Amino acid sequence: MSNETRLAIDFGTTNSLVGAWKNGQRVEALPLDTKASDPTLMRTLLFFPHQDACFYGADAIDKFLEHEMEGRLFRSFKSHLPNQNYLGTVIDNRILPLEKLVGIFLLELKKRAETILQEDIQNVVIGRPARYSLDPVADGFAIHRMNKAAEFAGFKNIEFVPEPLAAAFDYRRNLTHEKTVLIGDFGGGTSDFTLIRIGPYEFHKEHVLGIDGCPLAGDALDSLFMSQRLNEFFGANSKYKVALGKNWMTMPLSIMECLNKPAHIVHLKEKNTYEFIQNVKKGVATENERQNIERLFNLIEDQQIFSFFEHIEKVKRRLSERSLAEFEFNYPGLEISATFLREEFEKWAQPTKEKIFSSMEECLRQGQASAKDVDLVYLTGGSAQVPMIRNEFESRFGREKLTSQSHFHSVLSGLIESASFNMK
């Protein structure tokens, strides 16, 4: 198997990349998505205009708009993997288990890579978070689902490599002497850490001193803008009565949880949930609350969910550069303006930050190391540039120890490296 081509897949919550180890040589990130601004970055998106057709990546967005936003657009579906209560979805009359939904996307990555490399490929190395979930059972369940998805895609020899370990392999390629390195990989769905002793010599598993992570990262930070401020425009605090009922009730948390999270919001369109919101609208207490629920229907019916969270993402990026950012959404019937301060965002994000750095501390504990024992802190992933995250690393380790490389390609580069030798 060592001489056979092995694909390396960085299957991300937001973006996915593919490279390979072929004929004893590295094949760097493949241009899978010619419609994307960076063809090597394929958005992890699926769009079903109906049950018998599916579009991927940048094409999913184009077709979504072309079909006047009718159909089902799935984003962040990777984050459902550890959720044993989430079985999948139904598109028209077609039942799609989550394993198949992920498998459909992996199959498309495989097909596009095979077209470029001009061969059928059955061997794959796939990146995985250090932890899909803090619950070991849920984490194992997610791995089981990913394995089933990879099998559905047609892979026979499947290997999973923790993403922070892959990032370590990437950094190791340029080392000239031994170092103890803490790797922090911040994606859309997870924050992952590896403490590793590496140098310009052959890798052995005992060089990994610690590895840990938590299922909170970019998407969790995005959801704060909705949960802390913007969801009030969609009826978060609405009071309502059911037909023939006497007691006033508040919009259920389960509905707001769907609204707040990019991976869950698509489920507001499912029949039972949609009909429940219709009943809430009939029983709200005030005209203003009725208008808020109407705005929620506009968000769902006009398929503006994806666009709305894209605007939230832009605000988060602006707050990485300045202390204040304006949110403006001007779609008819959904006109919303809000001002966000970096200071308030960081206050909202404090519990998330504490959980992220608790995972980092567990990683250090496993390696029986303290900050002074770490020679270098190597950060990768888009959320690593959020000021409160980077500043925390600087305060703990010192600015001189921090370094980073390609925020999107580091994990893939390391997966290609790991594809060159047998990790099992």
For 9-39, how does the pLDDT look when each residue is reduced to its tens digit (9 = 90+)? 999 888 999 999 999 899 999 999 999 999 9
Give the CATH number for residue 60: 3.30.420.40
Which pLDDT score, from 0 to 100, does residue 422 have?
Answer: 56
Report the sign of the C-alpha dihedral through residues 210, 211, 214, 220, in that order.
positive
Report the sign of the C-alpha dihedral through residues 141, 133, 56, 255, in that order.
positive
Which of 245-254, 264-273, 313-322 is least confident?
Answer: 264-273
Q: What token pair was written down for 422?
A: 């047998």
Yes or no: say if 213 and 130 are a contact pair by the CB < 8 Å rule.
yes
Which pLDDT score, from 0 to 100, does residue 406 have?
Answer: 53
DSSP 377-411: EEEESGGGGSHHHHHHHHHHH-GGGEEE--TTTHH
Q: What token pair was written down for 413?
A: 């580069």
CA distance 334 to 181: 47
Is it the case that residue 217 has pLDDT exceeding 90?
A: no
Decide: helix, strand or coil at residue 176: coil
Which pLDDT score, from 0 to 100, does residue 29 have?
Answer: 94
Which pLDDT score, from 0 to 100, does residue 361 have?
Answer: 96
**pLDDT: which is higher, 135 or 385:** 135
Residue 60 located in a structural domain:
yes
Instruction: Quote the domain boundaries for residue 43.
Output: 6-175+405-419
CA distance 105 to 125: 16
Is it the case that residue 149 has pLDDT exceeding 50?
A: yes
Report the sign of the C-alpha dihedral through residues 411, 413, 417, 420, in that order.
positive
Is it the case that residue 48 has pLDDT exceeding 50?
A: yes
Decide: helix, strand or coil at residue 5: coil
Which pLDDT score, from 0 to 100, does residue 368 have?
Answer: 96
Yes or no: say if 329 and 311 are a contact pair by the CB < 8 Å rule.
yes
Residue 113 located in a structural domain:
yes
Q: What token pair was written down for 420?
A: 């060159």
CA distance 321 to 318: 5
Which of 89-93, 146-150, 233-237, 278-282 is predicted most confidently?
Answer: 146-150
Question: How far is residue 18 from each of residues 24, 153, 265, measured CA to CA in Å?
Answer: 17, 14, 28
**pLDDT: which is higher, 381 or 194:** 194
Q: Report which secondary-structure segment, H or E, holds 25.
A: strand 25-27
Yes or no: say if 32 and 18 are a contact pair by the CB < 8 Å rule.
yes
Residue 384 located in a structural domain:
no
pLDDT in tens, 322-343: 999 999 999 888 899 999 999 9
Residue 281 located in a structural domain:
no
CA distance 337 to 36: 29
Report the sign of the C-alpha dihedral through residues 223, 228, 233, 234, in that order.
positive
Residue 155 located in a structural domain:
yes
| Mean pLDDT along residues 138-166 | 94
Number of domains in the chain: 1
CB-based burial, 173-208: b 16+ in 10 Å, e otherwise = eeeeeebbbbbbbbbbbbbbbbbbbbeeeebeeebb
Residue 299 located in a structural domain:
no
Which of 59-68, 256-265, 298-307, 327-336 is predicted most confidently?
Answer: 327-336
Residue 340 located in a structural domain:
no
**pLDDT: which is higher, 163 or 264:** 163
Mean pLDDT taken over the chain: 88
131 contact partners, CB below 8 Å, separation of at least 6: 139, 190, 192, 212, 213, 214, 215, 359
Which pLDDT score, from 0 to 100, does residue 27 have?
Answer: 95
Decide: helix, strand or coil at residue 70: coil
Is it the case that residue 423 has pLDDT exceeding 50?
A: no
Is it the case that residue 72 has pLDDT exceeding 90?
A: no
Decide: helix, strand or coil at residue 132: coil
Which of 140-149, 195-204, 217-226, 365-374 is least confident?
Answer: 195-204
Q: What's the pTM value of the predicted model, to 2 decimals?
A: 0.75
**pLDDT: which is higher, 158 or 333:** 158
Nearest to 44 by CA among 105, 89, 97, 86: 105
CA atoms within 13 A on the CB side of 50: 2
Query: Which band of pLDDT confidence, cut at 50, 70 and 90, is reported for residue 1?
Result: very low
pLDDT in tens, 336-389: 999 999 999 999 999 999 999 999 999 999 999 999 999 999 888 777 878 899
Residue 339 located in a structural domain:
no
Give me the helices (H) in 261-397, please.
271-282, 287-301, 305-319, 342-348, 350-366, 387-397
Decide: helix, strand or coil at residue 33: coil
118 contact partners, CB below 8 Å, separation of at least 6: none
CA distance 23 to 168: 23
